[in-house]
């Protein structure tokens, strides 16, 4: 059983930065993949970024490459999403997910546990 709790969302102007955190309870293994997804109003939940818990591999959606960075702190069992150069189209509820159980890491159905979500709003 894994529980995920996100924090760090808020309101920011375009071009600004936010850092999201996802604290995980339960055992996370080095072979596990943890992910971030987001869902804007009226849209499907979409992949944002993922990380292999060992830290050796990271994965990003094309829309956030070069602006967002996913990382983890093993000692704190926490995954982070550093978001820079934010745009109004980044406005969404951001969800932490994991660990991936099977299937493509880019698909929401591959993840078994989800956090409650944190709102990110980027004003123009």
Give the DSSP letter string of 41-109. TTS--EEEEEEETTSS-EEE-TTTTTTEEEEEETTTTEEEEEE-S--GGG-EEEEEE--B-SS-TTSGG
The answer to whether 49 touches 70, Cβ cutoff 8 Å, is: yes
CB contact at 8 A, 110 and 100: yes
Residue 28: its H or E element: none
**Centroid of chain to Cα 104:** 16
Residues 6 or more apart from 19 whose CB is under 8 A from it? 8, 80, 81, 82, 83
Count of CB atoms within 10 A of residue 74's CB?
Answer: 11
pLDDT of residue 17: 98
If you count DSSP H runs as helices and E runs as strands, how many of each does the chain have, helices first?
Answer: 0, 10
What pLDDT shows up at residue 123?
A: 97
Each residue's pLDDT tens digit in the chain (124 positions)? 889 999 999 999 999 999 999 999 988 887 889 999 999 999 999 999 999 988 789 999 999 999 999 999 988 999 999 999 999 999 999 999 998 888 999 999 999 899 999 999 999 9
pLDDT at residue 5, rounded to an integer: 95
């Amino acid at each position: 059983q894994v529980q995920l709790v996100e924090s760090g969302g808020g309101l920011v102007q375009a071009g600004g930065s936010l850092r999201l955190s996802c604290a995980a309870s339960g055992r996370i293994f080095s072979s596990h993949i943890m992910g971030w997804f987001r869902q804007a109003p009226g849209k499907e939940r979409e992949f944002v970024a993922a990380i292999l818990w060992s830290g050796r591999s990271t994965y990003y959606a094309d829309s956030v490459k070069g602006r967002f960075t996913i990382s983890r702190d093993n000692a704190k069992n926490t995954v982070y999403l550093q978001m820079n150069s934010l745009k109004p189209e980044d406005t969404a509820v951001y969800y932490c997910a994991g660990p991936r159980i099977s299937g493509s890491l880019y698909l929401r159905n591959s993840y078994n546990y989800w956090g409650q979500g944190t709102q990110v709003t980027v004003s123009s």
